[in-house]
Amino acid sequence: MTRPFESLSPKEVLALAIHVERANAERFRSFAYVFRQYDEGVADRFEELAKEEEQHEAMLVERFRVRFGKEIPQVREVDVKGVIESVDMDESEHLIFDSLQPRRVYELAHAAEVGALSFYRDAAKLSGDPELAALYRELAEEEEGHASWLEKKLAGSRGRGSQRPSQ
């Protein structure tokens, strides 16, 4: 059963933020793998994004442990109504990973970043804790930068149709 975002405690919001960062790091590492075959620069950037998401996760885990202890509850995006739609590849994209087109990867990554940006903005508004609100605003700014980079990549891929950059 899903719960409204507003019903989450500060501890649960922070646990959810940890989950979001971990999931996005995994997505970006997968996207780096897709691009590694034909565009090293983009692959390297997705790897950098994955590392940044891992740094966010580590920062959030540390903050969680200081404030709430070691036991981080399992709160996932699918458990919370109205937060973020989990961005993922559809079944056919999982089966034919090598055929995934750059534009689709950028779209998926952009949706993940926009979702994280929205999540952090909402978390900052609802946190009721100035320290956590400041942390969430800081993370929102970083996610906004990621989303901007992806918007530029999407704008650049419009004229290419579905062809890969090397074609």
Buried b (16+ CB within 10 A) or exposed e, 89-111: beeebeeeeeebbbbbbbbbbbb
List the alpha helices (DSSP H) in 81-101.
91-95
Task: Give 81's strand partners.
Answer: 4
Residue with tokens 């074609």: 167
Largest distance between two CA atoms of the chain: 52
Question: What pLDDT does 82 receive?
Answer: 66
- How buried is residue 63: exposed, middle or buried, by Cβ count under 10 Å (0-12/13-18/19+)? middle
82 within 8 A of 8, measured Cβ to Cβ: no
- How buried is residue 62: exposed, middle or buried, by Cβ count under 10 Å (0-12/13-18/19+)? exposed
**In 3-state terms, what secondary structure has residue 7?**
helix
Question: What pLDDT does 101 receive?
Answer: 72
Residues of the chain above pLDDT 70, percent: 82
139 Cβ partners below 8 Å, 6+ apart? 17, 56, 116, 120
Looking at every residue in the chain, the average pLDDT score rounds to: 82
Residue type, 167: Q
pLDDT tens for each residue of 5-31: 888 899 999 999 999 899 889 988 988
Reply yes or no on whether the pLDDT at 88 is more than 60: no
Question: What pLDDT does 89 receive?
Answer: 53
pLDDT tens for each residue of 47-81: 998 999 999 999 999 999 999 999 999 988 887 88
Reply yes or no on whether the pLDDT at 125 is more than 80: yes
